[in-house]
Amino acid sequence: MILDRYFARRFLQSFVVIGGIFLTLMILIDLIEQLRRFDDYDLSVGQLLGLTLLNTPAAISEMLPLLVILSTIALFVGLARTSELVVTRATGRSGLRALVAPVTLALMIGILAVAFLNPIAAATSEEFERLSDAYRDDGSSALSISREGLWLRQSSDNGQSVIHARGTSNGDTLGLDDVTIITFSGDGKPNQQIVAERAELTNGTWVLTDAKLWPLRDDLNPETNAVSHDRLELPTSLTRERILDTLGKQDSVSVYDLPTLIRDLGEAGFSTKQYEVWLQVQLARPLFLVAMVLIGAAFTMRHVRFGGTGVSVLTAVLLGFAIYFVRNFAQILGENGQLPIYVAAWAPPFAAILLSLGLLLHAEDG
Q: Which fold has domain 142-237?
A: lipopolysaccharide transport protein A fold (2.60.450)
Q: What are the per-10-residue average pLDDT scores of the chain (366 residues)?
A: 85 94 93 86 85 91 94 89 75 76 94 94 85 66 66 73 76 74 80 87 83 81 82 78 62 85 72 87 95 91 70 90 94 90 94 91 69
Residue 179 burial by Cβ neighbours in a 10 Å radius (0-12, 13-18, 19+):
buried
* pTM, rounded to two decimals: 0.79
Domain segments of the chain as ranges: 2-135+257-365, 142-237
- The alpha helices in the chain, defined as continuous H runs, are 2-37, 45-81, 84-90, 100-112, 118-137, 240-248, 258-268, 273-283, 285-300, 309-335, 341-365
Query: What pLDDT score was predicted for residue 20?
Result: 95
CA distance 157 to 44: 27
Q: For 215-239, write each residue's pLDDT tens digit.
A: 887 777 777 788 888 888 888 777 7
Query: What pLDDT score was predicted for residue 324?
Result: 94
Q: For 273-325, write each residue's pLDDT tens digit.
A: 888 999 999 999 999 999 999 999 988 877 666 667 788 889 899 999 999 99
CA distance 26 to 31: 8
